[in-house]
Structure 1
Amino acid sequence: MDEPMLDAKGEPMSKDEAAPAVDGAQELRTLEEEGEIAADYLEELLDIADLDGDIDIDVENGRAAVEILTEDGSLDELVGSDGEVLEALQDLSRLAVQAKTGERSRLMLDVAGFRKRRRSELVDLAGIAIERVQSGAAPEASLEPMNAFERKVVHDAVAAAGLRSDSRGVDPERYVVVQAAAAE
């Protein structure tokens, strides 16, 4: 006979209550596997390109996160101008994961902290647009064209400030517009 699953207080849980923990554990294992597959792919790439870097694997915000780290800052060519090479490497890493698992990956790749630094810049930029709209200086504020990662960061910052935002235009000229919250 199966022993019942217990909650944090040691009380028995129904199968319905226990299932999310099992599903969550399975999801975590799946995301960790995605990270491992991407890391193997990237290690081969680094070897072929004769570049030095350490690879860190994590799970953040419900997706696998892989970062290539270096102590000497010699990975600029893996970032490229405005992160274009990084975006391409992320797409290739996602394809490597999909080829192995058969499932689409939402893996996030960072190289030498580029995305972390860019996220901070974007939050500051979004803050300026938010201030313009909140102060009434403008009914809306349009930002420069951005890639999907950058637009997501801005949308999150705008939502946290209680305002609305939407993306307009077509890639690669797609941009975010910040607006006051809709009246209820």
Structure 2
Amino acid sequence: MKKITVTGRTVEEAIEQALTQLNVTIDRVEVTVIEEAKKGFLGLGGKPAVVEVKELYDPIEEAKAYLHTVITKMGISVTIQQKQEEDGIVFELMSDKVAILIGKRGQTLNALEYLTNLVLNRKSKSYKRIFLDAENYRERRKQTLIALAERQADRAIRLNRNISLEPMPAKERKIIHTALQDREGITTNSKGEGSYRHIVISPVSSQ
């Protein structure tokens, strides 16, 4: 959090100068008037107003700044747009190297999302969540997983045996479970620990 002391002919002028220097709006700062402006006798000996302006802590802005710094250090130019969606706040990454930011099956995007949320919550009393996306990758990945779930469920029934999927992050496993929760003739379970945790699709008759 930045804190500066600024002088001006009036308190209002001093505050405006401080906001310009900090590049923030008035709702993002705390203002303390150290000294009111004083007029001198016959225009002589007057004193300017003095204010102390402190930028308020904003975990979302800090998380965004951190993410931008990390990506820049990867040698990638990026623009981050923030939007509010039903599940929470989404940082949309826009870059001419977006494929690198996504990584194989979203691994890089997932890692960046994990780190961003660590920064977001390190000073927070209640857990908050930020989601990262790039070129609508999350929705495209969701549809890919749903199609995979349906194919492997068909296979499990046809072969009458358990089908183990590759290890996936928790949120991707949830998509698989949800896609098949009403499917007759099969059940889904998560097995394994840590990065090896995966879904097993089982035909009811083989249990």
Q: Secondary structure at the match of 1:65?
A: strand
Q: Any gaps of 5 or more consecutive residues in structure 2?
A: 1-57
Counterpart CA distance in 1 for 2:132 and 2:182 is 24
Amino acid at match of 1:40: A
Counterpart CA distance in 1 for 2:120 and 2:155 is 42
Q: Which residue does 1:41 correspond to in 2?
A: 66
User: Aligned pair 1:143/2:165, yes or no?
Assistant: yes
Amino acid at match of 2:188: S
Question: What's the CA shift for 1:34?
Answer: 6.6
Worse-matched range after superposition: 114-123 or 35-44: 35-44
Contact 1:130 1:178 in 2 (8 A): yes
Amino acid at match of 2:79: D
TM-score where L is the length of structure 1: 0.63
Question: What's the CA shift for 1:37?
Answer: 4.8
Counterpart CA distance in 1 for 2:65 and 2:179 is 33
Amino acid at match of 2:164: S
Counterpart CA distance in 2 for 1:158 and 1:61 is 23
Q: Which residue does 2:149 correspond to in 1?
A: 126
Q: 1:109 aligns with which of 132, 146, 167?
A: 132
Contact 1:35 1:65 in 2 (8 A): no
Contact 1:168 1:177 in 2 (8 A): yes
Counterpart CA distance in 1 for 2:187 and 2:130 is 27
Query: How do residues 54-65 of structure 1 correspond to structure 2 at under 5 angstroms?
Result: 54-65=79-90
Judging by fraction of residues, say which structure has more strand.
Answer: 2
Question: What's the CA shift for 1:35?
Answer: 5.4
Q: Which residue does 2:91 correspond to in 1?
A: 66
Question: What's the CA shift for 1:170?
Answer: 1.5
Amino acid at match of 1:143: L
TM-score where L is the length of structure 2: 0.57
Question: What's the CA shift for 1:153?
Answer: 1.5
Identity %: 29
Query: How do residues 24-39 of structure 1 correspond to structure 2 at under 5 angstroms?
Result: 36-39=61-64
Q: Secondary structure at the match of 1:172?
A: helix
Distance 1:164 1:63, change over 3 A: farther
Question: What's the CA shift for 1:111?
Answer: 3.0
Counterpart CA distance in 1 for 2:72 and 2:155 is 48
Q: 1:95 aligns with which of 95, 100, 118?
A: 118
Counterpart CA distance in 1 for 2:175 and 2:60 is 22
Amino acid at match of 1:68: L
Backbone CA RMSD of aligned residues: 3.0
Counterpart CA distance in 2 for 1:100 and 1:111 is 27
Question: What's the CA shift for 1:98?
Answer: 0.4
Amino acid at match of 2:192: G
Distance 1:49 1:140, change over 3 A: closer
Counterpart CA distance in 2 for 1:34 and 1:52 is 23
Is the radius of gyration larger for structure 1 or structure 2?
2
Judging by fraction of residues, say which structure has more helix.
Answer: 1
Q: Which residue does 2:102 correspond to in 1?
A: 79
